Protein backbone atom coordinates (compact mmCIF):
# COMPACT_ATOMS: atom_id res chain seq x y z
CA UNK A 1 0.00 0.00 0.00
CA UNK A 2 1.30 3.45 -0.93
CA UNK A 3 2.67 5.74 1.75
CA UNK A 4 0.73 8.95 2.37
CA UNK A 5 1.81 12.12 4.15
CA UNK A 6 -0.82 14.49 5.54
CA UNK A 7 0.79 17.90 5.34
CA UNK A 8 0.39 21.69 5.25
CA UNK A 9 2.61 23.86 3.02
CA UNK A 10 3.47 26.54 5.62
CA UNK A 11 4.32 24.10 8.41
CA UNK A 12 8.03 23.70 9.03
CA UNK A 13 7.35 20.39 10.72
CA UNK A 14 5.55 19.16 7.62
CA UNK A 15 8.25 20.54 5.33
CA UNK A 16 10.83 18.62 7.38
CA UNK A 17 9.11 15.39 6.38
CA UNK A 18 8.52 16.45 2.78
CA UNK A 19 12.14 17.51 2.41
CA UNK A 20 13.44 14.11 3.49
CA UNK A 21 10.95 12.31 1.26
CA UNK A 22 12.14 14.40 -1.69
CA UNK A 23 15.85 14.00 -0.88
CA UNK A 24 15.61 10.21 -0.83
CA UNK A 25 13.19 10.01 -3.77
CA UNK A 26 10.60 8.05 -1.80
CA UNK A 27 7.20 7.40 -3.35
CA UNK A 28 4.85 9.11 -0.93
CA UNK A 29 1.52 10.75 -1.75
CA UNK A 30 1.38 14.25 -0.24
CA UNK A 31 -2.08 15.26 0.98
CA UNK A 32 -2.34 18.92 1.98
CA UNK A 33 -4.98 19.59 4.60
CA UNK A 34 -7.10 22.73 4.80
CA UNK A 35 -6.14 23.69 8.35
CA UNK A 36 -7.94 27.05 8.13
CA UNK A 37 -11.21 25.17 7.86
CA UNK A 38 -10.35 22.64 10.55
CA UNK A 39 -9.46 19.63 8.43
CA UNK A 40 -7.02 18.55 11.14
CA UNK A 41 -9.79 18.52 13.77
CA UNK A 42 -12.24 16.22 12.01
CA UNK A 43 -13.00 12.84 13.59
CA UNK A 44 -11.44 11.16 10.56
CA UNK A 45 -8.12 12.93 11.00
CA UNK A 46 -8.14 12.70 14.81
CA UNK A 47 -8.36 8.95 14.38
CA UNK A 48 -4.97 9.19 12.66
CA UNK A 49 -3.43 11.60 15.20
CA UNK A 50 -5.27 12.41 18.42
CA UNK A 51 -3.21 15.63 18.76
CA UNK A 52 -4.80 16.98 15.59
CA UNK A 53 -1.49 18.06 14.11
CA UNK A 54 0.40 17.63 10.86
CA UNK A 55 2.39 15.93 9.56
CA UNK A 56 1.11 12.39 9.79
CA UNK A 57 2.54 9.50 7.77
CA UNK A 58 0.14 6.73 6.78
CA UNK A 59 1.62 3.33 6.00
CA UNK A 60 -1.29 0.94 5.56
CA UNK A 61 -2.93 0.71 8.97
CA UNK A 62 0.05 2.39 10.66
CA UNK A 63 0.01 6.11 11.45
CA UNK A 64 3.17 7.94 12.47
CA UNK A 65 2.82 11.45 13.87
CA UNK A 66 5.57 13.88 14.91
CA UNK A 67 7.90 15.05 12.16
CA UNK A 68 11.09 13.63 13.65
CA UNK A 69 9.42 10.28 14.29
CA UNK A 70 8.43 10.27 10.62
CA UNK A 71 12.04 10.91 9.60
CA UNK A 72 13.23 8.01 11.73
CA UNK A 73 10.46 5.70 10.52
CA UNK A 74 11.20 6.38 6.86
CA UNK A 75 14.96 6.02 7.32
CA UNK A 76 14.52 2.68 9.09
CA UNK A 77 11.79 1.36 6.80
CA UNK A 78 13.66 2.28 3.63
CA UNK A 79 17.13 1.29 4.89
CA UNK A 80 18.65 4.77 4.69
CA UNK A 81 21.52 4.11 7.11
CA UNK A 82 23.53 6.94 5.58
CA UNK A 83 20.88 9.33 6.93
CA UNK A 84 20.49 7.56 10.28
CA UNK A 85 23.63 5.63 11.25
CA UNK A 86 23.21 2.27 12.94
CA UNK A 87 26.29 2.52 15.14
CA UNK A 88 25.68 3.73 18.70
CA UNK A 89 27.65 6.97 18.49
CA UNK A 90 26.36 7.93 15.06
CA UNK A 91 22.75 7.32 16.07
CA UNK A 92 23.23 9.26 19.31
CA UNK A 93 24.75 12.23 17.47
CA UNK A 94 21.72 12.40 15.17
CA UNK A 95 19.29 12.03 18.07
CA UNK A 96 20.97 14.90 19.91
CA UNK A 97 20.10 17.30 17.12
CA UNK A 98 16.61 15.90 16.60
CA UNK A 99 16.04 16.86 20.23
CA UNK A 100 17.46 20.34 19.63
CA UNK A 101 15.07 20.76 16.69
CA UNK A 102 12.10 19.80 18.85
CA UNK A 103 13.28 21.92 21.78
CA UNK A 104 15.51 24.96 21.25
CA UNK A 105 14.54 25.46 17.60
CA UNK A 106 10.83 25.00 18.28
CA UNK A 107 10.89 27.55 21.12
CA UNK A 108 13.22 29.93 19.28
CA UNK A 109 13.13 30.45 15.49
CA UNK A 110 9.93 28.45 14.99
CA UNK A 111 8.10 30.31 17.76
CA UNK A 112 9.26 33.68 16.41
CA UNK A 113 7.73 32.77 13.06
CA UNK A 114 4.46 31.80 14.75
CA UNK A 115 4.17 35.37 16.05
CA UNK A 116 4.47 37.08 12.68
CA UNK A 117 2.76 34.45 10.53
CA UNK A 118 -0.01 33.15 12.79
CA UNK A 119 -0.32 35.93 15.41
CA UNK A 120 0.80 33.72 18.29
CA UNK A 121 0.62 35.47 21.67
CA UNK A 122 4.23 35.36 22.84
CA UNK A 123 6.81 37.97 23.78
CA UNK A 124 8.73 38.68 20.54
CA UNK A 125 11.87 39.96 22.28
CA UNK A 126 12.11 36.91 24.50
CA UNK A 127 11.51 34.50 21.65
CA UNK A 128 13.96 36.23 19.29
CA UNK A 129 16.61 36.22 22.03
CA UNK A 130 16.12 32.46 22.44
CA UNK A 131 16.44 32.06 18.69
CA UNK A 132 19.76 33.88 18.55
CA UNK A 133 21.09 31.91 21.51
CA UNK A 134 20.61 28.56 19.77
CA UNK A 135 21.64 29.88 16.36
CA UNK A 136 24.92 31.12 17.83
CA UNK A 137 25.62 27.64 19.20
CA UNK A 138 24.75 25.98 15.90
CA UNK A 139 26.89 28.46 13.95
CA UNK A 140 29.86 27.60 16.16
CA UNK A 141 29.13 23.88 15.76
CA UNK A 142 29.31 24.26 11.98
CA UNK A 143 32.60 26.16 12.03
CA UNK A 144 34.73 23.07 11.36
CA UNK A 145 32.39 20.72 9.49
CA UNK A 146 30.00 20.95 6.53
CA UNK A 147 27.04 19.28 8.24
CA UNK A 148 25.84 19.31 11.81
CA UNK A 149 27.13 15.86 12.78
CA UNK A 150 30.20 15.80 10.56
CA UNK A 151 31.16 15.32 6.93
CA UNK A 152 27.89 13.71 5.80
CA UNK A 153 24.32 15.00 5.72
CA UNK A 154 21.95 13.16 8.08
CA UNK A 155 18.44 13.39 9.49
CA UNK A 156 19.85 15.93 11.95
CA UNK A 157 20.38 18.45 9.15
CA UNK A 158 16.93 17.78 7.69
CA UNK A 159 15.32 18.29 11.08
CA UNK A 160 17.07 21.61 11.66
CA UNK A 161 16.77 23.10 8.18
CA UNK A 162 13.18 24.32 7.76
CA UNK A 163 12.84 26.56 10.81
CA UNK A 164 16.39 27.90 10.56
CA UNK A 165 15.89 28.81 6.91
CA UNK A 166 12.57 30.50 7.71
CA UNK A 167 13.88 32.33 10.80
CA UNK A 168 13.83 35.75 9.03
CA UNK A 169 10.05 35.43 8.74
CA UNK A 170 10.05 35.69 12.53
CA UNK A 171 12.32 38.77 12.50
CA UNK A 172 15.37 36.66 13.32
CA UNK A 173 18.26 38.04 11.27
CA UNK A 174 20.58 35.35 9.86
CA UNK A 175 23.05 37.62 8.09
CA UNK A 176 25.77 37.37 10.74
CA UNK A 177 25.76 33.57 10.88
CA UNK A 178 28.41 32.76 8.29
CA UNK A 179 28.58 29.04 8.93
CA UNK A 180 24.81 28.60 9.10
CA UNK A 181 24.38 30.39 5.77
CA UNK A 182 27.02 28.17 4.18
CA UNK A 183 25.26 25.11 5.64
CA UNK A 184 21.88 26.26 4.30
CA UNK A 185 23.47 26.51 0.86
CA UNK A 186 24.81 22.96 1.13
CA UNK A 187 21.38 21.60 2.03
CA UNK A 188 19.77 23.52 -0.84
CA UNK A 189 22.34 22.12 -3.29
CA UNK A 190 21.50 18.49 -2.47
CA UNK A 191 19.86 16.47 -5.26
CA UNK A 192 16.15 16.28 -4.66
CA UNK A 193 16.03 19.36 -2.42
CA UNK A 194 12.50 20.71 -1.94
CA UNK A 195 12.20 24.42 -1.03
CA UNK A 196 10.17 25.60 1.93
CA UNK A 197 7.58 28.15 0.70
CA UNK A 198 8.42 31.70 1.82
CA UNK A 199 6.00 34.33 3.03
CA UNK A 200 6.47 38.10 3.09
CA UNK A 201 6.41 38.58 6.85
CA UNK A 202 9.07 39.69 9.30
CA UNK A 203 12.41 40.45 7.68
CA UNK A 204 11.23 38.79 4.46
CA UNK A 205 9.44 42.08 3.72
CA UNK A 206 12.85 43.62 3.07
CA UNK A 207 13.75 41.20 0.28
Q: What is the DSSP letter of 40?
A: G
Question: Do residues 135 and 109 make contact, with C-beta atoms less than 8 angstroms apart?
Answer: yes
SS3 190: coil
Q: Where in the chain do CATH 1.20.1050.10 domains reside?
A: 88-206
Residue 182 has pLDDT above 80, yes or no: yes
Neighbours of 145 (CB within 10 A): 13
Strand, coil or helix: 111: helix
Per DSSP, the chain holds a count of helices (H) and strands (E) of: 9, 4
Instruction: Round the average pLDDT of the chain to a whole number and report it.
Output: 95
**Helix/strand/coil for 80:** coil
Mean pLDDT computed over 10-23: 97
Non-local (6+) Cβ contacts of 104 within 8 A are: 130, 133, 134
For residue 36, name the pLDDT band (cuts at 50, 70, 90).
confident
∠ CA 25-80-16, rounded to 5°: 60
pLDDT at 15 over 60: yes
- Read off the pLDDT of each residue in 97-126 and give the average, rounded to a whole number: 95
Confidence of residue 1 (pLDDT cuts 50, 70, 90): low
39: confidence class by pLDDT, cuts 50, 70, 90: confident
Domain 88-206: which CATH number of 1.20.1280.50, 3.50.50.60, 1.20.1050.10, 3.30.830.10? 1.20.1050.10
Q: What's the pLDDT at 119?
A: 86
Q: Is the pLDDT of residue 205 over 80?
A: no
Question: Residues 40-53: pLDDT tens digits?
Answer: 989 999 999 999 99
| Mean pLDDT of all residues in 98-118 | 96
Inform me whether the pLDDT recorded for 14 exceeds 90: yes
User: pLDDT tens digits, residue range 90-99?
Assistant: 999 999 999 9
206 pLDDT more than 70: no
Strands (E) in 18-127, as ranges, are 28-32, 56-59, 62-65
Name the more confident of 119 and 159: 159
Q: Rounded mean pLDDT of 166-182?
A: 97
In the chain, ranges of CATH 3.40.30.10 domains:
3-77
Q: Would you say 52 and 40 are in contact if contact means Cβ atoms under 8 Å apart?
A: yes
Which residue has better confidence, 119 or 68?
68
- Classify domain 3-77 by CATH number: 3.40.30.10
Amino acid sequence: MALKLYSFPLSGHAHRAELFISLIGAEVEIINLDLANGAHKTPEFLAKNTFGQVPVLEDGDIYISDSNAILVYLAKKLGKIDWLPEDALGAANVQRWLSVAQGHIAFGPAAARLITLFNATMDPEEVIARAHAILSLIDAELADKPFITGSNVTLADVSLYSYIFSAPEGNVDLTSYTHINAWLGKIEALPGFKPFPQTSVGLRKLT
